[in-house]
Amino acid sequence: MSKALEGVRILDMTHVQSGPTCTQLLAWLGADVIKLERPGTGDATRSQLRDIPDVDSLYFTMLNHNKRSITLNTKHETGKRVLDRLVEACDVLVENFAPGALERMGLTWEHIQELNPRMILASVKGFGPGPYEDCKVYENVAQCAGGAASTTGFLDGPPLVTGAQIGDSGTGLHLALGIVAALFQRERTGRGQKVLAPMQDGVLNLCRVKLRDQQRLERGPLKEYSQYGRGIPFGDATPRAGNDSGGGQPGWILKCKGWETDPNAYVYFITQAAVWGKICDLIGKPEWKEDPGYATPDARLDKLMHIFETIEEWTKTKTKFEVMEICNPLGIPVGPVLSMKELAEEPSLRATGTVVEVDHPERGPYLTVGCPIKLSDSPVEVKRSPLLGEHTDEILSQVLGLSESEIAEIKASGALGEVG
């Protein structure tokens, strides 16, 4: 079966997490992704957080599936010429260098357009144009600068970063969408364009509802925040909301059977208005159905914590999976807090290819997260990440059409040797 992005060739000059997640996604959708790496070391993540000596780390392998790897010193004169040829041969150049690094390699937008007017130049940067545009940025910096940290955590604690990599992988997703849109527009215009996904902007986009609340706050307290029911006054900025739901249906994380010893024996429980009566019956509080203090969503707002404490008395008598089994048929929205161990072992995720076992020649089998987007006519086969420079000769001959003697000349020039 064909793939959605078949025929699209990507020059992948990304490293660490944000850029690689974008190009991995495009590779899964069928693009030919050529990862260009620094000779000798390659992407820094190859050697970061290693669990097996001298073997590509899981950090690298899990972010670089279905790609080919070429090594090239892009600061070497001959290396620059090879880089220019690759720009001519590809449809998209994706990069997430620190600001200015691509230009210092000679790849200004003007030069790229001269070489290939159809080229799409896609970049992740920490910040867009403005006071911080020259700054280097990593995941947690973006979470802080994009509004996630100030709105995450408990009211009486410090700002918190989340485990979900919304700054890196989230921005990678945004960039991938921009690239696909630019490819689509190129079909009509014949021209490439620049696509920029700043990490701060991507995080803020994912924190959209918190900017919603910032504006609502100017018109009065945020009544669905449990802070309101506890009588704690609001300040002038969207507060940290603990485990409040963030939507119009109140929710909270509740203890389940075994919580004393199992750190993940919890469920998220939503008191959706439509099923309030069923919740009351379930937890042994049928009188709350008619009680004016509890019968309507508005009446309940100032007692949310008391309501959740009462529901918790019930959830503590059940495992999180029993809570699911009992609540789902009643239409009560609940979700178990699943550990990484439980997710790794979950058969349904294995069956859909969202959790996949991949074999690697140096590390052996390992688990990874496969493509989370399912296209019915573009199936994904997750292939292991490339070894450093594994496809250098193949790309020089097959993509650039160079002869054996031309490849030998490039090697002799030192352009494939370690960067000084």
Q: What does the alpha-carbon distance between residue 256 and residue 315 come to, in Å, rounded to a whole number?
A: 5
Q: Which is nearer to ligand COA, 337 or 419 (CB)?
A: 419
What values do phi and psi take at 122, rounded to 5? -115, 125
Q: Which is nearer to ligand COA, 142 or 267 (CB)?
A: 142
Span near ligand COA by CB under 6 A; candidates 61-69, 90-98, 149-157, 407-415 = 90-98
Among residues 56, 91, 168, 201, the one annotated as catalytic is 168
Span near ligand COA by CB under 6 A; candidates 100-108, 252-260, 301-309, 335-343 = 100-108
Does 125 sit near ligand COA (CB under 6 A)?
yes
Span near ligand COA by CB under 6 A; candidates 2-10, 73-81, 286-294, 315-323 = 73-81
Nearest Cα residue to 321 out of 272, 264, 278: 264
Cβ 339 to ligand COA shortest distance, Å: 25
Cβ 16 to ligand COA shortest distance, Å: 3
Span near ligand COA by CB under 6 A; candidates 85-93, 123-131, 251-259, 374-382 = 123-131
Span near ligand COA by CB under 6 A; candidates 92-100, 153-161, 183-191, 207-215 = 92-100
Strand order in the sheet with 120-125: 67-71, 32-37, 9-13, 92-95, 120-125, 194-198
Cβ 415 to ligand COA shortest distance, Å: 9
CA atoms within 13 A on the CB side of 187: 7
What values do phi and psi take at 349, rounded to 5? -75, -35
Cβ 261 to ligand COA shortest distance, Å: 36
Cβ 203 to ligand COA shortest distance, Å: 12
Q: What does the alpha-carbon distance between residue 207 and residue 226 come to, in Å, rounded to a whole number?
A: 19
Does 384 sit near ligand COA (CB under 6 A)?
no
Does 72 sit near ligand COA (CB under 6 A)?
yes
Does 314 sit near ligand COA (CB under 6 A)?
no
Q: How many residues bind ligand COA (CB under 6 A)?
A: 23
The answer to whether the CB of 184 falls within 8 A of the CB of 33 is no
Which of 4, 47, 50, 75 touches ligand COA (CB under 6 A)? 75
CA atoms within 13 A on the CB side of 167: 22
Cβ 74 to ligand COA shortest distance, Å: 4
Does 96 sit near ligand COA (CB under 6 A)?
yes
Q: What does the alpha-carbon distance between residue 65 and residue 29 come to, in Å, rounded to a whole number?
A: 12
* Tokens (6 digits) for 91: 């449809």
Classify residue 412 by burial, with Cβ atoms within 10 Å: 0-12, 13-18, 19+.
exposed
Does 97 sit near ligand COA (CB under 6 A)?
yes
* Tokens (6 digits) for 160: 């918190």
Nearest Cα residue to 195 out of 410, 26, 350, 1: 26
Q: How many CB atoms lie within 10 A of CB 293?
A: 10
* Tokens (6 digits) for 220: 């009065």
Cβ 144 to ligand COA shortest distance, Å: 14
- Our answer to whether residue 236 is catalytic in this structure is no
Which of 16, 90, 107, 304 touches ligand COA (CB under 6 A)? 16
Which of 8, 12, 17, 30 touches ligand COA (CB under 6 A)? 17
The answer to whether the CB of 97 falls within 8 A of the CB of 122 is no
Which of 136, 212, 230, 374 touches ligand COA (CB under 6 A)? 136
Interface of this chain with ligand COA, residues 164 to 223, rule: CB under 6 A: 168
Which of 98, 181, 343, 375 touches ligand COA (CB under 6 A)? 98
Q: Which is nearer to ligand COA, 291 or 394 (CB)?
A: 394
Residues found near ligand COA in the complex (CB under 6 A): 16-19, 38, 72-75, 96-98, 101, 104-105, 124-126, 136-138, 168, 419
Active-site residue list: 168
